[in-house]
């Protein structure tokens, strides 16, 4: 495990590939409230895409961005290629928030970004759709369990407080 990434100063220290394979610096999201989550197309929680997209549309003009990272770490629930995932998200749920290339969110091959997120919160990723909330300064400030929706009052109040 690359511990230097787990010790990164902020979200902005990472460069990742978007779902089309283009390098993206997460510093591009400086000054925004960011929700980073691992997603899957064949999970019982997959319908969360609908609510996440609506939440993104309602809050993006206030400085919110959602970053989706497909991961196949849980019961093979994200088996598709990046192209298949992008098509599924766009056509099934109308996803317009940024999506990234498939990563590993646990284990020996955990992506450096997820090493950082889990080290910052002290919480491992337990399932698909775990949400990490990052403040406008790029610091991870909260982890939200996979089954908890961003629209639940406690989470909504927390995010709106950051906006």
| 43 assigned to active site | yes
> Alpha helices of the chain — where are they, by DSSP H?
3-6, 48-59, 82-93, 112-121, 153-162
Count of helix runs (H) and strand runs (E) in the chain = 5, 6
DSSP 71: B
Q: Which of 24, 43, 45, 162 is catalytic?
A: 43
Distance between CA atoms of residues 33 and 163, nearest Å: 7
Integer angstrom CA distances of residue 40 from 43, 50, 52, 66: 6, 13, 13, 15
**In DSSP terms, which residues pair with 71 in a beta bridge?**
103
Closest of 28, 89, 33, 82 to residue 59, by C-alpha: 33
| Catalytic machinery residues | 43
């Amino acid at each position: 495990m690359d511990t230097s990434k787990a010790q990164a100063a902020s979200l902005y220290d990472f460069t990742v590939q978007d779902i089309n394979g283009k390098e993206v610096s997460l510093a591009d999201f400086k000054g925004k409230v960011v929700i980073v989550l691992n997603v899957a197309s064949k999970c019982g929680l997959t319908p969360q895409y609908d609510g996440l997209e609506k939440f993104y549309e309602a809050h993006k003009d206030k400085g919110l961005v959602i970053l989706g990272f497909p991961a196949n770490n849980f019961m093979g629930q994200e088996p598709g290629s990046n192209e298949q995932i992008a098509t599924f998200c766009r056509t099934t749920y109308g996803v317009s928030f940024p999506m990234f290339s498939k990563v590993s969110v646990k284990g020996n091959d955990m992506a450096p970004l997820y090493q950082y997120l889990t080290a910052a919160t002290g919480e491992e990723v337990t399932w698909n759709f775990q949400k990490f909330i990052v403040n406008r300064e790029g610091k991870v400030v909260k982890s939200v369990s996979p089954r908890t929706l961003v629209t639940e009052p406690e989470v909504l109040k927390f995010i709106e407080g950051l906006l």
